[in-house]
Amino acid sequence: MHADRATRATRLIVHLENLRYNIEAARKIIGSRARICFSVKANAYGHGAVSISRCAVEAGVDYLGVATVSEGMELRDAGISIPILLFSQALPEEVPDIIMGELTPFISDGDFIEIMEREAERLNKNLEVHLKIDTGMNRNGCHPEEAAFLAKKITSFKRLILSGVATQLSVADSTEPEDLAYTKEQLNKFREAIESIKNAGIDPGVTHAANSGALVFHENSCFDMLRLGIFLYGYSPSNNILTKPVMEFRSKVVSIITVKKGEAVSYGRTWIADENTLVGIIPVGYGDGLPRLLSNNHTVSIGGKAYPIVGTICMDQCMVNLGSRTTVQRWDDVIIFGPGSISAEDIAKKLKTISYEITSGISKRVPRVYK
């Protein structure tokens, strides 16, 4: 194992063997029909972008996906050479880095197409781009009826290369009848847009729409490539498809104190002992990514046994009730979530959010240890 930074009591164990397992699980679903673009934005959903990307490239993913230019450049600086899609709209002043870093941006309007062409011409470089079509997400993308016009505009320029066409599915992870119908409608609009580009005599390149939800629930959504994120990190939208969580959030018991009956623990006196008890101090808090909303609302695992967090979670520490008698010892490992224990999805449900927010919220000050 190796660590990105000096190891501290609180750390992430990143199980690369589970990532490889999940990539293989996706391959078994799609076979050889489509390529995989692996989303490694937001520091690979908190897992560590460079190390995760290197493992994924070795495991055979075809593209990587990022949200910002700086994320893409970090991967290029690390020597990663496979295609990198830039999902979000960049600023004009970021275009030189896009071109020199050979990132492949999503573009969806004529003005930015022209900005890209001018800068590529100035730098004497060609640039591959993917046309983004909005089929119902109402975020980024051109209207489907504009697709052929914009594709023709891109291909009319000297420096721009149309290498793909994409859309974003907004409710592909839902099995509600109205959401299934909405996704089907989005896919139909996307097919029509692709056909309009082909009818204009233009090769659309790599076509892609499916995300993790579509992989599981919409077999006809694969096209030429899937953009997968949370599925590969170990959280499948379906209980019928087994994936393995890649992230394990751990810490240690660094101190054990005695709290008398009637005494309070932590800020705000939100928990008061109803008997004399032992309390373990754990050096992890909301500054590390342990949500403060889990105060008095979460258990951790120590030696295979669950212990409740008591009192308000602090920026750097939290406390757990070990009971009046305990076998827990100072320096014992503490599992906050991870494989074989409570999952990030379990925490997300408790907080009425999604597992993405839990994993990507782990602070960069927490060392990532790759196993």
Annotated catalytic sites, by residue? 41, 267
DSSP secondary structure of 285-300 = -TTTT--GGGTTS-EE
Asked if residue 143 lies in contact with residue 134, where contact means CB atoms within 8 angstroms, the answer is yes
Instruction: Provide the 3-class DSSP secondary structure of residue 257.
Output: strand
Tokens of 215: 């992989």
The number of beta carbons lying within 10 Å of the beta carbon of residue 153 is 18
Helix or strand holding residue 24 (H, E): helix 16-30
Asked if residue 155 lies in contact with residue 120, where contact means CB atoms within 8 angstroms, the answer is no
Across the chain, how many H-helices and E-strands are there?
11, 20
Asked if residue 129 lies in contact with residue 160, where contact means CB atoms within 8 angstroms, the answer is yes
Tokens of 269: 């006196």
Residue whose entry in the numeric block shows the structure tokens 């996704």: 183
